[in-house]
Amino acid sequence: MFIRTRCLQITAALASISLLAGCGLLSDDKGDDAKRIVVGTTSAPSTLDPAAAWDGSWELYRNVYQTLVAFPTGSTKPQPDAAQSCEFTDAKNESYRCTLRKGLKFSNGEPLDAKAVKHSLDRIKTIGSMVGPKDLFGSLDKIETPDALTVVFHLNTPDATFPFVLGSPAASLVAPKEYPADKVREDGKVVGSGPYVLDSYKEAGEAVLSGNESYNGFAKRRNSAVTIRYFAESPKMIAALKGKEIDAIYRGLSATEVLDLQSPASHGLGVQVVENVGSEIRYLVFNPKDPSVAKLPVRQAIAQVIDRGTLVSKVYQGTAEPLYSMVPKGVVGHKTPFYDKYGPASVANAKKILRDAGINQPVELTFWYTTDRYGASTAEEFTELKRQLDDSQLFKINLRSAPWKAFQAGYKGQEYPVFGRGWFPDFPDPDNFIAPFVGKENAVGTPYEPNEIMNDLLPRSRREGDRSAGGQAFERAQQIFAEDVRLLPLWQGKLYVAAREDIAGAERALDPQTVMQMWEFYRKTSW
């Protein structure tokens, strides 16, 4: 089992790269704010129940559920949300106490009290969904509720990053009467206490949200209602933006589409693009249960052949950069161990690695990717990976793909020898780029138990209340990843929000977890 900690100093600064001329005054007029904001995305929820999702479903959760603490834009430490205050009560970081705000209620009228918090988090482990966030709570031993407003979390090991977990949508609070303790809710409804209420939901269609007037937390809503529309294909989503059918887009844009939206022609149609400097990464996962990649030299040879620079320039055209560690650039402790160990791409070096291991014929492998989670460029990316490996004449690559739900079940079932995944931070700490990928049960579904990382480096770093003090442990963990090549980092990307020119707030809409905060969008008074 792995425990997740994160002390990453995420560069969550958001900078606009395309501001259109002629800006009007920003509106505080409630009539203007009352106009519904319509946002498009290709990342639809896999479920509406937080106990069964550790994926892009969090985009919706952040807006309809509340957490004890959260990460407002610009913060790298959790701030109170449903809680009035939270703190460790011991020097070992093993007991964490939260005091709730008074008078909190769920949208069905139930009180959001200490018992509701305990119910919400206990059910995550009880249900134990394979695709849920249970592994995030590996350090949680038990929860006590001494009174209606007090929750005490007892940990089974020192874990200074437990507050970061509580600040992620994994710790979304749900109404006990509506969410069974031992099974996932599957009626397509939501009862939460977040900034918005879910009025209706159509799978693969849309989520219709209205402002939750009883919400009491950190978010300051700039609009009264939002509709999130889910698109299967990004071209249709872009056409909807240009045709004024939707107001903004997040997630799912290919590099070509980003460049198109930044063009003068799109500007002329009243579209702006905001570039978000984040820590999104993409990587390959190798499943050693499959004989084709069980041998370390095969994985090392792949690491030696792949030319990240060519991959990024051909497919991502400046919207991403090569990545040589699972801990991305801009995060505390980032190093380049894969470059340090393997250097520039070299077919000759890869051939020597295979020859020295007695592998003298092309290795046939099947690479899997998902068609509807990471955007339209994913297929192009894997086509380029296949081209590079096939051209080396050391490998013969077959490509297979599947929609996200089927893909998720496949990799969790250890059916794929090699597959591509993306990672967005759950909370701002570098541990989140190490811990999720190790342990018998981990985020990628292939057991990986490096003794030094699990029994020394991670426990040691988690005893540090000052999260910046764990840098050396994370640097060593990155070296071990490069030696084992169970994961192969490929690139680090930027996130983009495209919006109509009368929409403001896009530069603040992504929190440090790169989760969309819909309440930041609002309409300008004039243009």
DSSP of 262-303: TSHHHHHTTEEEEEEEEEEEEEEEE-TTSTTT-SHHHHHHHH
The confidence score (pLDDT) of residue 24 equals: 32
User: Are the beta carbons of 406 and 267 closer than 8 angstroms?
Assistant: no
Sheet of 140-147, strands arranged across: 83-88, 95-100, 150-155, 140-147
* Rounded distance between C-alpha atoms, residue 88 and residue 36, angstroms: 41
pLDDT at residue number 11: 31
Show the tokens assigned to 360. Answer: 């003298």
Q: Which residue has the tokens 């994926």?
A: 55
What is the spatial distance between Cα 283 and Cα 328, in angstroms, rounded to a whole number? 11
Please say whether the dihedral angle defined by the alpha carbons of residues 494, 498, 501 and 503, taken in this order, is positive or negative.
Answer: negative
CA 307 to chain centre: 25
- Name, in order, each residue with C-beta under 8 angstroms of 28's C-beta and a sequence gap of 6 or more: none
Using 50 as the pLDDT threshold, list the residues of the chain that sit under it.
1-34, 526-527
CA-wise closest residue to 171 among 59, 50, 44, 4: 50
pLDDT at residue 35, as a whole number: 79
Distance CA 69, CA 173 (A): 11
Q: How far apart are CA 331 and CA 346, in angstroms?
A: 28
Q: How far apart are CA 312 and CA 210, in angstroms?
A: 40
Q: How far apart are the first and last CA of the chain?
A: 54
- The alpha carbon torsion through 26, 31, 34, 38 (nearest 10 deg) reads -60
pLDDT at position 375, please?
A: 79
**Would you say 317 and 304 are in contact if contact means Cβ atoms under 8 Å apart?**
no
Cβ atoms of 64 and 115 within 8 Å: the answer is no
Q: DSSP letter at 105?
A: B
Q: How many CB atoms lie within 10 A of CB 138?
A: 20
Dihedral, CA of residue 75, residue 77, residue 81 and residue 82, to nearest 10:
170
Q: Left (φ > 0), alpha (ψ -120 to 50) or beta: where does 22 sit?
A: left
Q: How far apart are CA 238 and CA 246, in angstroms?
A: 9
Count of CB atoms situated within 10 Å of the CB of 156? 12
Alpha carbon distance 127, 213 (integer Å): 31
CA-nearest of 103, 69, 59, 113 to 216 is: 103
So what's the pLDDT on residue 331? 83
The predicted pLDDT at position 43 comes to 87
